[in-house]
Amino acid sequence: MRIDNEAAYVLHTRPWRETSLLVEVLGETHGRVGLVARGVQGPKRHPLRAALQPLQHIRFDAVQRGELARLNGAEALDVAPRLAGDPALAGFYLSELVLRLAPRNDPHGELYQAYGLARARLSSDEPLAWTLRRFERDLLDALGFGFSFDIDGDGEAIDPAARYRLDPEHGPRRLLSDRGQRDRDEAATGRALLALAHDRQPAAEDLASLRRVMRAVLAHHLGGRGLKSWELIGQLSRGKPRVAEG
């Protein structure tokens, strides 16, 4: 199968053999594609290498005869965002989520669009936590795992004053009033869920309440193995303010 003039975002790149790279991209029409870029490593700088950096938006040509496609050419479509610190870690998190949850060669145009929007927001003034929660919501929707955030699992409208857990299969579940403080701390506010449903940035306290419940849903779909970015965030966060909010 030939892939011609495919727009894509580079998710991950790693060395392979002596002179080649293994590259994972998220394409606009072909979904996640694994590429072999041959002969681009070595003492001389190869022009392709600059276009194969993580977060780079590219257009590429390839031929696929098995699980991996052979890259024939690629060009950068813009200048990749120059990120450092928490935004860089957030970018790693976005890409890792796609790598772990999106199957190869399965078209997901909505996910491609959502990734592009999140990538742009990493360089904006939008709070990182809000950028990540929006992407998590959109990723779940694009992959068929999504649910409503303004209606609970029993079909009732979300109460802004209540707290909710997120059931990965059925959506929001209202927390009973007699549950302990720990349970309440690990639940999202109804206000936060409604804000996410209507794509309105919530207040800081409500936004913070979304992190744990969204992570629980993602962990369910990831199976028994978590994300490297979660481990890294945990290591960097010990004794410090939470970083990246992944």
The predicted-structure confidence for 94-141, as pLDDT tens digits, reads as follows 999 999 999 999 999 999 999 999 999 999 999 999 999 999 999 999
User: C-alpha 83: how far from its chain's center?
Assistant: 16
pLDDT surpassing 70 at residue 42: no
Name the band, by pLDDT with cuts 50, 70 and 90, for residue 66: confident
Token output for 190: 């109804």
Q: What is the dihedral of CA 231, 190, 132, 90, to 10 degrees?
A: -40
Q: How far apart are CA 223 and CA 174, in angstroms?
A: 24
* Cβ-based burial of 102 (10 A; exposed 0-12, middle 13-18, buried ≥19): buried
Domains, the chain, in order of start with CATH, read 2-76 (2.40.50.140), 86-237 (1.20.1440.120)
Provide the whole-model pTM: 0.91
pLDDT in tens, 188-213: 999 999 999 999 999 999 999 999 99
